[in-house]
Amino acid sequence: MAIEVRKVVLESVSDASGLAKLIDDGVFDADGVVAVVGKTEGNGGVNDFTRILADQAFRKVLMDKGTRPFEEVKEIPMVWSGGTDGILCPHATVFAKVEDDGPASSEPRLAVGYAMSDVILPEDIGRPAMVEKVAEGVRRAMAEAGIEDPADVHYVQTKTPLLVMETINDAKARGHTVYTEDPLESMNVSNGTSALGIAVALGEIGMPTAEQIGHDLTLFSSVASCSSGVELDQAQTVVVGNAPGAGGRYRIGHDVMNDALDQEGVYRAIRNAGLDLPERARYQDLGDKLVNVFVKCEADPTSRLRGRRQVSLDDSDVHHHRHIKGAVGGVVGAAVNDAAVFVSVAALHQGPSGGGPVAAIVDVG
């Protein structure tokens, strides 16, 4: 078996026709789909229900066109990141298992693994208990993907719970405290804690102390892309890497954007995936070989960008998540000549402070 990976655009908030067409055209079977990572057009906040609408639409297609029972289809990892600010385009990247009839490659090729963690309690978020639970899930997802060497892991996408008033009050009723009582801030904290779990699992860092979580910005993962929402109470983990013996025509690589203007970080990730690019690459050099790029970003906490003062963190009208997502979306979209790129915010402990990880999937034939 090999992994086939394709990108489809969402023409409306609940449009899954792109997925349906891939199945109808025989690119892969509905029963072969193993994961979906996408962007929806909502506000990207706690109450962004466009994620749920897209999720329902994609699962319905898999039910209508496949043979798997509902209990299996509902367990397929679908990580939806809300918010397509600026030029960003709502889209989804679909991963599916297919029969590989081609000649075996001597190089590792794309592999995907999936796992759900133990239940993450409200009082775990932002604390070492969550780090440990996420790390354990990452290790199981690696094993499912057939990846033994952490160096072969290039992208780990998680979806974790955040705090809302109901779960905050639940923790209090049981005699526990929570990291924060601000639901929006808990999104950032949940993402960051999950990233540290990924970093621990892959040996990028040692186990952090409670005091370091959310504060020591020297601790980060270079392959973590973490999202959170209200729709689950576990860490849903998708590990994407290159495995020896895996079939297919795709490879993945990664690097980091050191800041919001680091367009070269995108090209470094593409090179790392196996595409030969000139020293000063441009989108014309990509041809039709790039499937998609996946980027995390954040407004620099110092409010400086290459020495210039930034004001998005002081904006009381538009949240800085919206500012930076639109800005980095423009930078990355220009780098690859495509607005349908995965750019997600709240990058605490994901890549260097003020920057973020970049993963790229390419068709190497």
Distinct helix (H) and strand (E) counts, the chain: 8, 14
Ramachandran angles phi, psi of 137, nearest 5°: -65, -40
Helix axes 17-24, 50-65, angle to 10 degrees: 20
For the record, the structure tokens of 60 come out as 């319905």
DSSP state, 109? Answer: E
The string of pLDDT tens digits covering residues 174-214 is: 999 999 999 999 999 999 999 999 999 999 999 999 999 99
**pLDDT at residue 103, as a whole number:** 63
**pLDDT at residue 41, as a whole number:** 97
Catalytic-labelled residue, pool 97, 159, 289, 296: 159
Q: Is beta strand 78-82 parallel, antiparallel or unpaired with respect to 91-98?
A: unpaired
- For 51-74, give the DSSP string: HHHHHHHHHHHHHHH----HHHHT
For the record, the structure tokens of 36 come out as 């979906």
CA 84 to chain centre: 15
Give 9's pLDDT tier (boundaries 50, 70, 90): very high
Output the CA–CA distances (angstroms, integers) from residue 224 to 154, 162, 196, 280, 350, in the order listed.
8, 17, 9, 27, 6
**pLDDT at residue 327, as a whole number:** 98
Q: Other C-beta atoms within 10 Å of 166: how many?
A: 9
The yes-or-no verdict on residue 144 having pLDDT over 80 is yes
Give 1's pLDDT tier (boundaries 50, 70, 90): confident
Q: Is 227 annotated in the active site?
A: yes
For the record, the structure tokens of 194 come out as 């999950």
User: Taking all residues of the chain, what is their mean pLDDT, rounded to a whole number?
Assistant: 96
Tell me the average pLDDT across 145-152.
97
Catalytic-labelled residue, pool 105, 225, 227, 228: 227
The yes-or-no verdict on residue 274 having pLDDT over 70 is yes
| Helix, strand or coil, per DSSP, at residue 308 | strand
List, edge to edge, every strand of the sheet that includes 356-363.
250-257, 356-363, 290-296, 342-344
| Helix, strand or coil, per DSSP, at residue 46 | coil
For the record, the structure tokens of 1 come out as 């078996």
The residues, any chain, with a CB within 8 Å of residue 170's CB and separated by 6 or more, are 122
**pLDDT at residue 267, as a whole number:** 98
The string of pLDDT tens digits covering residues 47-79 is: 899 999 999 999 999 999 999 999 999 999 999
The yes-or-no verdict on residue 104 having pLDDT over 70 is no
The string of pLDDT tens digits covering residues 284-316 is: 999 999 999 999 999 999 999 999 999 999 999
The Cα–Cα gap between 157 and 138 comes to 10
DSSP H or E run through 329: helix 320-336
Amino acid at site 73: V
For the record, the structure tokens of 252 come out as 């993945």
The yes-or-no verdict on residue 226 having pLDDT over 80 is yes
DSSP H or E run through 149: none
Cα dihedral sign, 238-244-247-248: positive
The Cα–Cα gap between 233 and 120 comes to 6
Q: Is 159 annotated in the active site?
A: yes
